[in-house]
């Protein structure tokens, strides 16, 4: 009998296990599990019956060794395996992209498994394990060798040099590289003119320096899996050969029998077969803030809702359990999430798209102008001269300093955001947040405080507010019922404060204990010290909370020396506590718990539940002092004391309350036209209640309208409801069209969502053309964080995985910080527009000299080297200073920009920069040029068509009635070029002042409010003085000292630029329509 095919115990063979795993995971060998609950179950059972029949038949057959036949089968099997591998390899090469897409779609499907539904016997039979002795060591080693380690497949890392190359050669850098190459070509054609060489070297230096700077500022780890690895358990207590042994968690295999205890990390996806009060922290997977009770029976068909499963990477907080490993490695819940995060891919940022769009415009403009004038000049100049000037025109249109301006502006903004508790990992994502039109926010820890709090209490037949973080508490400390309730919360409680926290506010102190009991002691401590209270009422006996009783009970001696009765206190699920009571405490009296009081309780419970709060009932009983003394031996296993006919004291209601700053922050988002959507793993009722409190939901849902009218939900037109709450089980069955209809609602809450559903929600909004920001802190959020246009993780409560997947991290975990980030993002977009408008305007006075030189053949008014001095010298600091400009008053009142219409560079911006400002600057500069040339004896009317012999060293040229030699001509031209250069700086000072605002008056904004801009203007003037008047720089740069009076030539043009733009903005502020607004508001 072949041991490879079937084992003697009748368990499935190794090959049948492999077959099951392959069917579960497609082509991924590490996926271990099942995809089709019913079909796999039928298939596996029929497979087992066939194997058992085969065992029976083989046992009565004569075992005649046939070596030839065995070898033939082995050769045939090996040939078939090789053939399949080759075919699979060819298929992968041919359809790699399609395969990746298919894997992505497979990962995005909801998990379909039945390991929690079938009986333990069926599960053990399927996995070939023993529920008492576990696997044998040999069998475990076999499975480990066959399936590999119980670990997540690491993602491929992008090499550092590839990332650096992207910064060095991508986007705007590519345009500068083209300019540098053209400059080197120009120098190669005419080595007598070193300006092109200087320009090429400088451009290469600019690209290299900014590329390296961006790389270090923007370096982002691609290893999302590293965060998952950090949260993986290191060891597991496993039963092998009937003996408990501690092994490395990576050595676990399917079917292993393991034990889990409080404090352990869950080492794989487990089916619980024996449970002893186990609770697990699923917050990283589901967002639920409280530990979840586990059990050994199935409570829901959904694997995420049932209590008999525990998931890889979560933590056991208390209790213990015996479990069977049902999924390992990549097949686990966290493995699927890791796969989603790794395959989701980063979205191209809007600012990156805008810069690419800008490059296309500038490149097309430069190449078009260069080519047109190259063709135009063929009739006048030789091809070499034409080629040189074509290169000059193209380079003149390239804003060399803009790359540095954009990089520094984004960096400065990211540093400003860091001061506002927002850490930027990706520089370009700074602007993305400002472009956001939809924010999909997690609830726990982002909108809420991530701490359970006593929110309300019901006693004396009234609901009173207890949470004082948002409102003043309304409870009466002198009430007898409140005193009794307070005593139960303090005594029937095992939570304690961690030591050495006396100087920390009570609400911020760390505790030992579960979330509910920690909330109780934080409520009680300001009223009376809990240790003092417990010491005064010593504990005599206790029944811990368990999933069967659903209550906790303790017995105490009383601190009142005149009352020798022992006090029994109990808290738990309200309905369980109420069933054990026969009286109720009201205004200090015990009254019969009749139908009237039960109706009052039901109404209060429904009201608290409607607010999304978790209710706990509290009761007490004074024991008979004749029977129960401090020396009485209490039996808590089989209680020998009363646990019925108690007195119901009241109800405490807990909730994870909203952060105080969130409602205003959400209101600010709404006024800015940003839709805020809650996407949480928590319960729909809780999610809806919190959404109402933080202004995400302010209208009625369809269900609420139906309740108000007293009609079935089906009779309410869906279009009447502006708000909707969608549970995950409904979302799972929705088509894309139905989801799109949901996303069309004004106010949306998604609850009980899985990671796959969060990803689908993000994609749904993106398909509608929205720019989506996603906030999250858990492992379950990482795929959506990666897929979003901008992912925002939590810095305090966030997992390493979510931080790796995100583009930004909120250092204070506060949603209000996102709003500050939105304002900064909008501001950087505004300020980049202003920087580009300022930078592009000088392109016209830089381009005009070449055009006039080509068309009317005057001596060149501006040299290439002086263009470089403007773009990378005098213009650079003023352009960067615009990044420091404060926001205009309407910045958070505008709707989010439309990425298809509100571009970084628009027709309006080009009209403003080139036609309105650039033309005036060129006129001012040319006026200065002609004035200086005229004063030097070269009348402006004689300059056209005079360049034929201008550069001939031996030629004598007649101008203004006299003969000029080469040196005199060059001296005059250097002075005129210097005046032209100085005039551009003068008019650019006016330009930077008008670029402070897009619609407000510069005086409204504060003409002197931007200190960095004042420094930039001062640096501009200082650089002009240095370049013109410092000895020895003139010969190198082609400048000459000129009279300061020549600087006044451009002054009237500067005044005109400033005044005319103030009038333009005034008109726009009062007339938001018409020609001026349409063509000049950029």
Provide the pairing of β-strand 257-261 with 235-240: antiparallel
Provide the pairing of β-strand 269-281 with 292-293: antiparallel
Residue owning tokens 């990992």: 425
* Helix spans in 190-266 (H): 195-218, 225-230
Residue 274 CB neighbours (<10 A):
13
Task: Report how far residue 896's alpha carbon sits from residue 918's, in angstroms, rounded to the nearest whole number.
Answer: 30
Encode 383-452 in three state secondary structure.
HHHHHHHHHHHHHHCCCCCHHHHHHHHHHHHHHHHHHCCEEECCCCHHHHHHHCCEEEECCCCCCECCCC
Provide the 3-class DSSP secondary structure of residue 661: coil
Provide the 3-class DSSP secondary structure of residue 889: coil
The conformation of residue 859, written as its DSSP 8-state character, comes to: P
Q: Which among 553, 561, 672 has a CA at the least distance from the CA of 619?
A: 553
Residue owning tokens 């040319």: 926
Task: Report how far residue 30's alpha carbon sits from residue 334's, in angstroms, rounded to the nearest whole number.
Answer: 14
Task: Report how far residue 345's alpha carbon sits from residue 922's, in angstroms, rounded to the nearest whole number.
Answer: 47
* Helix spans in 733-789 (H): 736-743, 755-767, 782-787
Provide the pairing of β-strand 438-441 with 772-776: parallel
Please, are residues 545 and 551 in contact by the beta-carbon 8 Å criterion?
Answer: yes
**What does the DSSP assignment read for 306-317?**
-SSEE-TT-EEE
Residue owning tokens 């080519």: 371
The conformation of residue 190, written as its DSSP 8-state character, comes to: -
| Six token digits for residue 604 | 């209060």
Please, are residues 114 and 127 in contact by the beta-carbon 8 Å criterion?
Answer: no
Please, are residues 1023 and 1015 in contact by the beta-carbon 8 Å criterion?
Answer: no
| Cα–Cα separations (whole angstroms), residue 362 to 206, 375, 397, 920 | 18, 20, 7, 21
Provide the pairing of β-strand 790-794 with 808-810: parallel
Task: Report how far residue 442's alpha carbon sits from residue 732's, in angstroms, rounded to the nearest whole number.
Answer: 19
Please, are residues 223 and 155 in contact by the beta-carbon 8 Å criterion?
Answer: yes
**Helices 662-671 + 815-841 axis angle, to 10:** 40
Torsion angle defined by CA atoms of residues 906, 909, 911 and 915, in that order, rounded to the nearest 10 degrees: -150
Task: Report how far residue 661's alpha carbon sits from residue 420's, in angstroms, rounded to the nearest whole number.
Answer: 14
Q: Which among 353, 653, 642, 611 has a CA at the least distance from the CA of 523?
A: 653
Catalytic residue among 281, 296, 442, 682: 442
Residues 6+ apart with CB under 8 A from 191: none
Active site residue 656: no
| Six token digits for residue 559 | 């601190």
Q: Which among 457, 450, 576, 476 has a CA at the least distance from the CA of 520?
A: 457
Please, are residues 336 and 328 in contact by the beta-carbon 8 Å criterion?
Answer: no
The conformation of residue 867, written as its DSSP 8-state character, comes to: H
Please, are residues 244 and 256 in contact by the beta-carbon 8 Å criterion?
Answer: no
Please, are residues 214 and 407 in contact by the beta-carbon 8 Å criterion?
Answer: yes
Task: Report how far residue 539's alpha carbon sits from residue 541's, in angstroms, rounded to the nearest whole number.
Answer: 6
Task: Report how far residue 962's alpha carbon sits from residue 942's, in angstroms, rounded to the nearest whole number.
Answer: 12
Q: Which residues form the catalytic set? A: 442
């Amino acid at each position: 009998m072949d041991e490879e095919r079937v084992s003697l115990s009748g368990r499935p063979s190794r090959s049948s296990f492999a077959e099951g795993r392959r069917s579960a995971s497609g082509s991924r060998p590490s996926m271990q599990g099942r995809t089709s609950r019913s079909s796999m179950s039928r298939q596996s059972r029929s497979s087992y019956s066939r194997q058992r029949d085969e065992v029976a038949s083989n046992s009565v057959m004569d075992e005649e060794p046939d070596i030839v036949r065995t070898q033939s089968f082995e050769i045939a099997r090996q040939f078939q395996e090789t053939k399949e591998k080759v075919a699979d390899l060819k298929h992968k090469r041919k359809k790699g992209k399609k395969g990746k897409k298919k894997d992505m779609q497979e990962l995005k499907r909801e998990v379909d498994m039945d390991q929690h539904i079938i009986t333990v016997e069926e599960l053990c039979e399927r996995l070939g394990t023993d529920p008492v002795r576990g696997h044998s060591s040999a069998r475990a080693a076999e499975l480990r060798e066959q399936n590999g380690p119980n670990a997540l497949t690491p993602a491929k890392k992008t090499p550092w040099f590839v990332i650096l190359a992207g910064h060095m050669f991508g986007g705007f850098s590519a345009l500068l590289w083209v300019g540098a190459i053209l400059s080197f070509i120009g120098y190669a054609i005419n080595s007598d003119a070193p300006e092109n060489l200087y320009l090429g070297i400088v451009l290469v230096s600019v690209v290299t320096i900014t590329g390296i700077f961006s790389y270090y500022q923007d370096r982002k780890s691609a290893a999302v899996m590293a965060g998952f690895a950090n949260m993986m358990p290191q060891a597991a207590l496993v039963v092998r050969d009937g003996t408990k042994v501690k092994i490395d968690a990576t050595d676990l295999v399917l079917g292993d029998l393991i034990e889990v205890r409080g404090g352990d990390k869950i080492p794989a996806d487990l089916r619980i077969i024996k449970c002893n009060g186990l609770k697990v922290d699923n917050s990283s997977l589901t967002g639920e803030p409280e530990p979840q009770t586990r059990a050994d029976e199935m409570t829901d068909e959904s694997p995420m809702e049932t209590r008999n499963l525990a998931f890889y990477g979560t933590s056991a907080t208390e209790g213990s359990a015996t479990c069977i490993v049902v999924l390992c490695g990549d097949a686990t819940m966290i493995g699927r999430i890791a796969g989603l995060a790794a395959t989701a891919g980063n979205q191209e940022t809007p600012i990156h798209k805008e810069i690419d769009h800008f490059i296309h415009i500038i490149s097309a403009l430069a190449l078009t102008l260069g080519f047109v004038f190259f063709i135009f000049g063929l009739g006048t100049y030789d091809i070499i001269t034409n080629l040189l000037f074509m290169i000059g025109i193209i380079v003149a249109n390239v804003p060399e300093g803009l790359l540095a301006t954009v990089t520094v502006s984004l960096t400065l903004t990211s540093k400003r955001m860091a001061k506002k508790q927002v850490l930027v990992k990706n520089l370009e994502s700074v602007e993305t947040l400002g472009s956001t039109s939809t924010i999909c926010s997690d609830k726990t820890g982002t909108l809420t405080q991530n701490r359970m709090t006593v929110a309300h209490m019901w006693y004396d037949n009234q609901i009173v507010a207890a949470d004082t973080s948002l409102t003043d508490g309304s409870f009466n400390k002198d009430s007898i019922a409140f005193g009794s309730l307070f005593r139960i919360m303090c005594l029937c409680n095992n939570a304690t404060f961690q030591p050495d926290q006396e100087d920390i506010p009570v609400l911020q102190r760390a505790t030992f204990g579960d979330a509910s009991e920690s909330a109780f002691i934080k409520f009680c401590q300001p009223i009376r010290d809990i240790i003092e209270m417990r010491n005064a009422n010593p504990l005599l006996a206790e029944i811990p909370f368990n999933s069967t009783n659903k209550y906790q009970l303790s017995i105490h001696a009383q601190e009142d020396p005149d009352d020798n009765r022992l006090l029994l206190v109990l808290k738990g699920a309200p309905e369980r506590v109420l069933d054990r009571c026969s009286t109720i405490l009201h205004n200090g009296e015990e009254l019969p718990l009749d139908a009237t009081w039960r109706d009052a309780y039901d109404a209060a419970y429904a009201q608290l539940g409607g607010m999304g709060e978790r209710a706990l009932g509290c009761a007490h009983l004074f024991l008979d002092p004749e029977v129960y003394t401090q020396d009485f031996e209490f039996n808590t296993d089989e209680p020998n004391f009363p646990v019925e006919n108690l007195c119901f004291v009241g109800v405490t209601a807990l909730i994870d309350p909203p952060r105080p700053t969130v409602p205003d922050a959400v209101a600010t988002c709404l006024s800015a036209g940003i839709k805020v959507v809650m996407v949480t793993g928590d319960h729909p009722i809780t999610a809806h209640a919190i959404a109402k409190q933080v202004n995400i939901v302010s209208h009625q849902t369809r269900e609420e309208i139906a309740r108000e009218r007293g009609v079935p939900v089906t009779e309410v037109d869906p279009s009447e409801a502006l708000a909707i709450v969608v549970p995950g089980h409904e979302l799972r069955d929705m088509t894309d069209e139905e989801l799109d209809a949901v996303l069309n609602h004004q106010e949306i809450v998604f609850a009980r969502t899985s990671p796959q559903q969060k990803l689908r929600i993000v994609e749904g909004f993106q398909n509608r053309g929205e720019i989506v920001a996603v906030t999250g802190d858990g492992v379950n959020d990482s795929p959506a964080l990666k897929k979003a246009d901008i992912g925002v993780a939590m810095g305090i409560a966030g997992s390493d995985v979510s931080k790796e997947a995100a583009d930004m991290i909120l250092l204070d975990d506060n949603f209000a910080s996102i709003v500050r980030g939105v304002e900064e993002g909008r501001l950087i977009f505004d300020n980049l527009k202003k920087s580009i408008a300022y930078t592009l305007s000088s392109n016209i006075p830089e381009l005009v000299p070449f055009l006039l030189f080509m068309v009317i053949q005057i001596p060149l008014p501006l040299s290439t080297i002086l263009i470089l001095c403007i773009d990378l010298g005098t213009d650079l600091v003023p352009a960067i200073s615009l990044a420091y400009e404060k926001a205009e008053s309407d910045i958070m009142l505008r709707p989010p920009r439309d990425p298809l219409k509100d571009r970084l560079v628009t027709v309006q911006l080009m009209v403003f920069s080139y036609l309105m400002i650039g033309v005036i600057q060129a006129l001012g500069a040319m006026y200065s040029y002609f004035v200086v040339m005229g004063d030097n004896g070269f009348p402006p009317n004689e300059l056209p068509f005079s360049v034929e012999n201008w550069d001939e060293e031996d030629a004598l040229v007649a101008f203004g009635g006299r003969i000029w030699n080469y040196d005199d001509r060059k001296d005059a031209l250097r002075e005129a070029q210097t005046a032209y250069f100085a005039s551009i700086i003068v008019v650019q000072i006016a330009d930077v002042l008008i670029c402070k605002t897009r619609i407000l008056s510069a005086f409204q904004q504060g003409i002197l409010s931007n200190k960095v801009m004042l420094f930039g203007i001062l640096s501009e003037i200082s650089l002009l003085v240095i370049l013109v008047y410092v000895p020895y720089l003139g010969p190198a740069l082609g400048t000459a000292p000129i009279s300061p009076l020549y600087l006044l030539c451009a002054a009237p043009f500067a005044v005109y630029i400033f005044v005319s733009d103030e009038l333009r903005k005034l008109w726009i502020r009062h007339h938001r329509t018409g020609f001026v607004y349409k063509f000049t508001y950029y």
